Chains A and B, each alone.
Chain A
């Protein structure tokens, strides 16, 4: 079998089905990871005496342990206490927790960078704290957190390959199966690498467009109008 046939008949179809699984993992994990990140950041910043330390400990634990460990506990450990997830579900839960914890740090940093006056002005208009957070603080924080959040999204694309350790045949797993069967490691994983590179490139372009779309004059990149006193 020549290289071209291997590529078109064997490798690409296998990687294509793996890519579909990878995209499914990301498509489920990323939105919930963002929501979790927002929740944890707000909880930590405004949650008060109970919620705030809980959020802090959660972030500490996720940041302090390898993701692989978390995935192994979710899939192989929890059944011993009667909780069983499918490999896909366990992976997604692990990714959401990891993505959420890191996202929360980017968002919290952005919240901290917002001047107190924004909250004060919102409250002076009769907004509750929650209304002020939702309508004033978070929109600004999320715009400022885009670079960090997109970085984390790119990490998610790449660490989604860890699902393979839980028997989910995603992009890397599909590559591994083909590589082993045909003893074609180099070719296979070079192509796999190109696919990841393509995903990250698409993300980068999309994030640039998003940043342009939501950019507010003078709000990011430290622009200050000459007229502003």
Chain B
């Protein structure tokens, strides 16, 4: 395989659910510091693609490589890779029985076997990063959706991942809360975090993406830098899709 400085390689991913083929051969490479934004109609496999990368949904065919090590078919070593591939979910999935800081801490303690004080300090600094250090002792049910999603971003950040997968991180939020989450994500992108983002937020895609990938019917139909993809007339399918969004 070619390297091209890619830290993450996705090769020819296929995935079917029953008779429906959701992903029909998706390949791309990710460089350090990239922010790749996946857009496209619902049901075209964007979320499934993210889950195939960290093997929450193992693909039927195709391979995923992280730093030249194969993630697919890695057996129990998958837990090593998942520490390096963070994930943020549409519905946050914060651990209901743990406070905000405990949510960020738990994997540091149980997976990374960090010492208590060290984990607490690290968790607090990640909460500070998302602007929630004052909310450390609040439980998920006491947080707004935007705050909950920021805690879940802090939880992913705490593992010092090489890349973070964002699966429609603002789709469950109203516009105001969406803004505070996107602000955090934009800041991460500027700090050089490598991110793969499935979203419908075109303003974020335009301002933060290094590349936009338009997915349709289980494949990457068109891809390119935001300025070219959105202005160049040759990318008709992306423009048609975006036209529908604004109609």
Report the minimum CB–CB distance from A114 to chain B (whole Å): 8
**Which A residues, 197 to 218, have Cβ-Cβ distances below 8 Å to chain B?**
216-218
Contact between A227 and B89, CB atoms less than 8 A apart: no
Chain A 139-164 interface mask (CB, 8 Å, partner B; 1/0): 11001000000000000000000000
Residues on B with beta carbons closer than 8 Å to the beta carbon of A143? 97
How many Å lie between the Cα of A129 and that of B52 in the bound state?
18
Q: Do A120 and B93 contact each other (CB < 8 Å), given the known contacts A126-B107, A126-B159, A127-B107? A: yes
Report the minimum CB–CB distance from B141 to chain A (whole Å): 2
Contact between B95 and A121, CB atoms less than 8 A apart: yes
Report the minimum CB–CB distance from B189 to chain A (whole Å): 20
How many Å lie between the Cα of A143 and that of B111 in the bound state?
23
Q: Do A229 and B174 contact each other (CB < 8 Å), given the known contacts A135-B106, A216-B96, A218-B96? A: yes
Q: Is B18 positioned at the interface, with any CB of A under 8 Å from its CB?
A: no
Report the minimum CB–CB distance from A5 to chain B (whole Å): 55
In-complex Cβ contact of A126 among B89, B94, B111, B174 (8 A): B111
Q: Is B202 positioned at the interface, with any CB of A under 8 Å from its CB?
A: no
In-complex Cβ contact of B82 among A125, A135, A217, A218 (8 A): A125
Closest to B81 in A: A126
Kindly specify which of B31-39, B65-73, B142-150 makes contact with the partner chain: B142-150
Closest to A143 in B: B97
Closest to A214 in B: B97
Contact between A136 and B95, CB atoms less than 8 A apart: yes
Q: Is A122 positioned at the interface, with any CB of B under 8 Å from its CB?
A: yes
How many Å lie between the Cα of A126 and that of B82 in the bound state?
5
In-complex Cβ contact of B111 among A120, A131, A225, A228 (8 A): A131
Q: How many residue-residue contacts, CB under 8 A, span A and B?
A: 98
Closest to A129 in B: B79
Q: Is A117 positioned at the interface, with any CB of B under 8 Å from its CB?
A: yes
Q: Is B91 positioned at the interface, with any CB of A under 8 Å from its CB?
A: yes
Contact between B141 and A224, CB atoms less than 8 A apart: yes
Contact between B173 and A229, CB atoms less than 8 A apart: yes
Residues on A with beta carbons closer than 8 Å to the beta carbon of B159? 125-126
How many Å lie between the Cα of A224 and that of B145 in the bound state?
12
Q: Do A125 and B97 contact each other (CB < 8 Å), given the known contacts A227-B144, A229-B173? A: no
How many Å lie between the Cα of A224 and that of B86 in the bound state?
28
Q: Is B200 positioned at the interface, with any CB of A under 8 Å from its CB?
A: no
Contact between B144 and A218, CB atoms less than 8 A apart: no
Residues on A with beta carbons closer than 8 Å to the beta carbon of B194? none
Q: Is B80 positioned at the interface, with any CB of A under 8 Å from its CB?
A: yes
Residues on B with beta carbons closer than 8 Å to the beta carbon of A9? none
Contact between A127 and B79, CB atoms less than 8 A apart: yes
Q: Taking each of A135, A224, A229, which has the highest tally of chain B beta carbons within 10 Å of its own beta carbon? A: A229
Q: Is B14 positioned at the interface, with any CB of A under 8 Å from its CB?
A: no
Residues on A with beta carbons closer than 8 Å to the beta carbon of B79? 126-128
B residues with CB within 8 A of A: 54, 56, 76, 79-83, 86-87, 89, 91, 93-97, 106-107, 110-111, 139-145, 148, 152, 155-156, 159, 172-174, 177
The 7 tightest CB contacts between A and B, nearest first, are A218-B141, A121-B93, A126-B83, A117-B93, A229-B145, A125-B107, A126-B82
A residues with CB within 8 A of B: 115, 117-118, 120-128, 131, 135-136, 139-140, 143, 216-219, 223-225, 227-229
18 contacts between A and B (CB under 8 A): A120-B93, A121-B89, A124-B54, A124-B87, A125-B106, A125-B159, A126-B80, A127-B79, A127-B107, A128-B76, A135-B110, A139-B97, A217-B139, A219-B139, A225-B141, A225-B143, A227-B144, A228-B140
